[in-house]
Structure 1
Amino acid sequence: MSTAHTSVAEVLGALEGVAYPAGKDRLVAAARQAGASEEVVKALRGMPAEEYTGRDDVARSVRVDPDPGRTAARRGQQVRRGGKPGFAQHLWEEPKTLIHEEFDR
């Protein structure tokens, strides 16, 4: 299951007027009605189909990108370069530039 490129705050913002408990389908419909982006709707559709008792339940269940500021080009560069097994892409070390190497001397 993939993650959506949005944040938990954006998802919860799209669900401002929802009365809980609410099922996944009702949350998706409420987000669409509120004019949420496709990424927010994608994040809500990726949640398990169950009843959510409140905003905290939604925040714990929604799958979002841990670093939504990365561009598609940046994510592709990280994939091509590879990383250490067991580390998420946003935690991979960046190679030092010549300027950073000079500062380390």
Structure 2
Amino acid sequence: MTRARTTVPDVLAAIRGVHFPAGKDRLVTAARDADAPEEVLRALRGMPPERYADREEVARWVRVDPAADPDTATARRIARAREGGRPGLSLHLREEPRTPIQEEFGR
């Protein structure tokens, strides 16, 4: 059984009619009234119980599956781990393939 995934644009579409600032409960209620899928409601329920100033703030705080939304910091961290980098390792310390010019000059 595969689990359905949601993305930030799905969440933002579900809260399209909300006037901001708005609290978490208001966002969940608006999404439920808009007949949003359960995955969207679950993502909204997972947010901290704060007042959100606008849709961009909601987009920053909503938790979605990183594989479903490749623009999240978590997804970038996962992709970097797959490429061999460790979290917190500076770019200049990572193993990278050498360019042909570096090979030629022995650097």
Which bin holds the TM-score, normalised by the shorter protein? 0.5 to 0.7
Structure 2: gaps spanning 5 or more residues? 70-76, 84-107
CA distance 1:89–1:42, change in 2 (3 Å): farther
> 1:25-54 deviations in whole A, cap 9, x for unaligned?
000000000000000000000000000000
Structure 1 residue 68: Cα displacement: 2.4
TM-score by length of 1: 0.62
Number of aligned residue pairs: 73
Structure 1: gaps spanning 5 or more residues? 70-86, 94-105
Question: Once superposed, what is the RMSD of the aligned Cα atoms?
Answer: 2.2
Structure 1 or 2, whichever has the larger Rg, is: 2
- Structure 1 runs of 4+ with >2 Å offset: 87-93
Partner amino acid for 2:26? R
Matched, 1:88 2:78: yes
TM-score by length of 2: 0.61
1: CA distance, partners of 2:22 / 2:43: 16
Which structure exhibits the higher relative contact order, with contacts defined as CA atoms closer than 8 Å and separated by 6 or more residues? 1
2: CA distance, partners of 1:5 / 1:65: 6
Q: Kindly, what percent of the aligned residue pairs are identical?
A: 58
